[in-house]
Amino acid sequence: MSAGLLYTIGFILSVIIALVMTPLVKKFAFKVGAIDKPNYRKVHTRIMPRMGGLAIYAAFVVGLLLLMPFIPDGMLTETNMNLIWAMLAGGTIIIVLGAFDDRLELSAKVKLLGQIAAACVVVFVFDIKIDFLNFPFGDAMQPIASWLSIPLTIFWIVGVTNAINLIDGLDGLAAGVSGIAIGTILVMAIIMGNIPIILLSTLLLGGIVGFLFFNFHPAKIFMGDSGALFLGFCLAMLSMISFKQITIVSFVTPLLIIGVPLSDTFFAIIRRLVNKRPIFAPDKGHLHHCLQELGFSHRKTVLIIWGVAAIFGGFAILQSTVVQSNAANWITFLVICLVMLCLQIGAELIGIVDKTRRPVINFLNRMRLRLKVDADRTK
């Protein structure tokens, strides 16, 4: 079986499994009491089943196991299998943790310990960690000492895992943003010929697409922490594995791929520090909340954020494809500056940190007025 046909069958198979499993998971969630009740922070007005992540997980795992006998021997190298088993082992820990949280609402400390345990399995059992970084204006990949590599890898996995969970506030939002990020990784893996990443990304993307049939507004089921944490873990793993040892890719690329959840997490931390609130305290100041306050409907808000995620993905692909040129370092630097400027202006416009403070916009307005005054004087 050719690689292209294998990936196509894997995607279709994963979509079908998700379509079949999601209604079953919905019934199971109601039966065990894994439900989400409306409150002041949430936009839904009726009781909704959670645990939708189980359907995505099932599509990924069952699809992979069904494809295994048909994968050519050349693709099943020891290194590739190590990556696959690491994803399965860590992902299983995360999905079990998330499912218990959907039912029992675990404390933040328990969830954090579970995520650290999954990351430690990846690092210590399968020996997968960030060994090299390629910084802008560097001549080559820079090796990282083991004492720094291990905590950096664990921090990356735990951080990205939670970032997806923070944006899971509207129907289809987290699933769509995750799907766009995984689609970006898939495109880049195809360009680089990274076989295991193509296979894993294809299966995950199929599971997300199948689940979105039931999760897009108006949703019939929520993915819950089981889905948000699982997709976050998968994104952390795929972005790290794909690019950690490839000299043509800068360290900026994985940050761009998951730019929406990371930036929302960053602004949430800044917002809570500015308002002197605990960092882990929930609020209604996230990106989707701000857009809805501006008058956008539920569906339009989701589509806008999907569009922003797609722009981030486009930047990541552009940055990685030109990084081989002589001007790569300057292009990377300009991409970073442009993205940071756009993020800051966007944050000030929608008030994601503070409704009244707009330092960059005020500075640009003053510069515009000064230029206008100078132009009038020269006339």
Residue ranges for the known binding site are 165, 225
Among candidate residues 189, 201, 205, 318, the one with its CA nearest the CA of residue 243 = 189
The binding site for Mg(2+) comprises 165, 225
Distance CA 213, CA 51 (A): 15
Q: Using CB atoms within 10 A of its CB, is residue 345 exposed (0-12), middle (13-18) or buried (19+)?
A: middle
DSSP 347-379: HHHHTSS-SS--HHHHHHHHHHHHHHHHHHHH-
- If one counts every other C-beta atom within 10 angstroms of the C-beta of residue 265, the result is 20
Asked if 214 and 220 touch (Cβ cutoff 8 Å), the reply is yes
Q: Within 13 Å and on the Cβ side, how many CA atoms surround 273?
A: 6
Asked if 7 and 13 touch (Cβ cutoff 8 Å), the reply is no
Longest CA span, the chain: 78
Angle at 287 between CA 339 and CA 302, to 5 degrees: 100
Q: Which two tokens stand for residue 333?
A: 């630097």
Asked if 220 and 46 touch (Cβ cutoff 8 Å), the reply is no
List, in order, residues 6 or more apart from 62 with CB less than 8 Å away: 17
